[in-house]
């Protein structure tokens, strides 16, 4: 089918105008390194998007990758953020947030490109992220492939039975937890876990069996709800740890991010009266790292898998 010349001319003009707008917008966007003074911007954008991260989360992101957290300025105003975190050969991108007033102008895309350039220069083999439905199309355009879906469950934690085998982790055990996590995840997340242990020493629980770790779980406060996770555990330890964490949070609002294919974990969330709030798509760029989904009972939050 051929278009009438007038219509085709009109379309061509529109395309040229849009391309011109994109170039003009790109010129107005400046990306710079995030500083401690930008935490308030991060918090403002987090609240605007209704996300759960707190000031302590932002400070931890900056401590983990001081040179890899960025702010976008548009027309001289700070309007966007993103953070990266390098964990050996794998890196995570998170906190991609653009002020509602500045969306649709290429700010999100430029932030991503800048972050990818930062990570490529550091020879990272795999870049991963958990995408919202708003972010996924941008990441696909930049070469990310969807991997699997996680469901965010939310609700009021029911009062249940505490797990008799569950104990509070002490600092002496942190190294063993990180070793267990690395084995299960094929990525050394020690940099992230050790900071979570430092910030929330009272909220790490484990199951030991004959001196061997069978699983661990963390909980931490959020702006809207307690985030339950990460929880990495064997098939036997996972249900006990998850139920135990829920009973410790009894009567409080909670979030748990669960891979939809971990049906055992999904069943626990559903039978605890939690409901799906939304989905995230785990995506990767570069070398594929296969997660052990049946051992992933709760993600650490969309910012780090
Ligand atoms: C997702 C989010 C970060 C996107 O930021 P953004 O700055 O609006 O993104 P971009 O402008 O780069 O791209 C968005 C779209 O605008 C288009 N666009 C870019 N520049 C444009 C311009 N000058 N004029 C018109 N459209 C433009 C892009 O092509 C893209 O189009 P698409 O919808 O067909 O994919 C932003 O919507 C946001 O903060 N959402 C809430 C938090 C969130 O979900 N973050 C993602 C976490 S994974």
Tell me the pairing of strands 296-298 and 29-33: unpaired
Round to whole Å and give the CA distance between 157 and 155: 6
Ligand 1 binding pocket mutation candidate from 95, 109, 130, 257 (most atoms within 8 A of CB)? 109
Residue 271 has, within 13 A of its CA and on its CB side, a CA count of 11
Tell me the pairing of strands 29-33 and 77-87: unpaired
The top-level CATH class assigned to 5-124 is alpha beta
Which class for 132: exposed (0-12), middle (13-18), buried (19 or more C-beta within 10 A)? middle
CB burial string 219-249: b at 16+ within 10 A, e below: bbebebbbbbbbbbbbeebbbbbbbbbbbbb
302 lines ligand 1 (CB under 6 A): no
132 lines ligand 1 (CB under 6 A): yes
How large a percentage of the chain has pLDDT more than 90?
A: 86
54 lines ligand 1 (CB under 6 A): no
Query: In this structure, are residues 167 and 205 in contact, taking their beta carbons and an 8 Å threshold?
Result: yes
298 lines ligand 1 (CB under 6 A): no
Give the length of the chain.
Answer: 305
How large a percentage of the chain has pLDDT more than 70?
A: 90
Task: Kindly report the protein residue whose alpha carbon is nearest to atom 34 of ligand 1.
Answer: 137
105 lines ligand 1 (CB under 6 A): yes
User: Is 3.20.20.105 the CATH classification of the domain at 152-298?
Assistant: no
Asked whether residue 144 carries a pLDDT value surpassing 80, the answer given is yes
Round to whole Å and give the CA distance between 302 and 244: 22
Mean pLDDT across the chain: 92
Round to whole Å and give the CA distance between 144 and 119: 14
Asked whether residue 1 carries a pLDDT value surpassing 50, the answer given is no
Domain ranges, ordered by start, for the chain: 5-124, 152-298
47 lines ligand 1 (CB under 6 A): no
Compute the distance from residue 136 Cα to the ligand 1 centre, in Å: 10
Helices (H) and strands (E) in the chain, counts: 9, 13
Which class for 208: exposed (0-12), middle (13-18), buried (19 or more C-beta within 10 A)? middle
Per residue in 93-121, pLDDT tens?
Answer: 999 999 999 999 999 999 999 999 999 99
Query: In this structure, are residues 251 and 271 in contact, taking their beta carbons and an 8 Å threshold?
Result: no
Query: In this structure, are residues 93 and 99 in contact, taking their beta carbons and an 8 Å threshold?
Result: no
Secondary structure letter of residue 13 according to DSSP: H
Tell me the pTM.
0.90
Asked whether residue 89 carries a pLDDT value surpassing 80, the answer given is yes
Q: Which helix (H) or strand (E) segment is 128 a member of?
A: strand 126-131
Neighbouring CB atoms inside 10 A of 73's CB total 16
Per residue in 185-223, pLDDT tens?
Answer: 889 999 999 999 999 999 999 999 878 999 999 999 999
Asked whether residue 27 carries a pLDDT value surpassing 80, the answer given is no
283 lines ligand 1 (CB under 6 A): no
Q: Do 5-124 and 152-298 come out as alike in CATH topology? A: yes
């Amino acid at each position: 089918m051929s278009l009438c010349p007038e219509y085709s001319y009109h379309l061509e003009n529109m395309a040229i105008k849009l391309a011109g707008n994109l170039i003009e917008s790109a010129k107005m966007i400046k990306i710079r390194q995030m500083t401690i003074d930008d935490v308030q911007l991060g918090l403002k954008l987090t609240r605007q998007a209704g996300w759960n991260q707190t000031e302590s989360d932002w400070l931890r992101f900056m401590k983990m990758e001081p040179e890899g957290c960025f702010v976008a300025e548009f027309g001289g105003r700070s309007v966007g953020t993103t953070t990266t975190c390098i964990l050996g050969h794998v890196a995570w991108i998170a906190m991609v947030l653009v002020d509602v007033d500045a969306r649709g102008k290429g700010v999100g895309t430029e932030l991503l490109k800048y972050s990818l350039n930062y990570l490529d220069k550091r020879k990272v083999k795999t870049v991963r992220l958990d995408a919202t439905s708003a972010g996924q199309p941008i990441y696909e355009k930049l070469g990310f492939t969807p991997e699997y879906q996680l469901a965010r469950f939310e609700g009021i934690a029911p009062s249940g039975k505490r797990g008799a085998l569950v104990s509070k982790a002490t600092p002496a055990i942190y190294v063993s937890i990180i070793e267990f996590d690395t084995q299960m995840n094929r990525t050394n997340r020690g940099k992230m876990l050790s900071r979570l242990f430092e910030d929330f020493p009272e909220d790490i629980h484990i199951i030991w069996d004959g001196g061997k770790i069978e699983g661990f779980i963390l909980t931490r406060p959020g702006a809207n709800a307690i985030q339950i996770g990460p929880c990495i555990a064997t098939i036997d330890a996972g249900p006990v740890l998850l139920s135990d964490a829920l009973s410790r949070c009894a009567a409080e609002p909670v979030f748990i991010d669960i891979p939809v294919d971990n049906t055992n974990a999904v069943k626990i969330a559903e039978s605890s009266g939690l409901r799906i709030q939304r989905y995230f798509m785990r995506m990767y760029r570069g070398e594929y790292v296969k997660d052990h989904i049946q051992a992933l009972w709760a993600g650490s939050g969309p910012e780090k898998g």
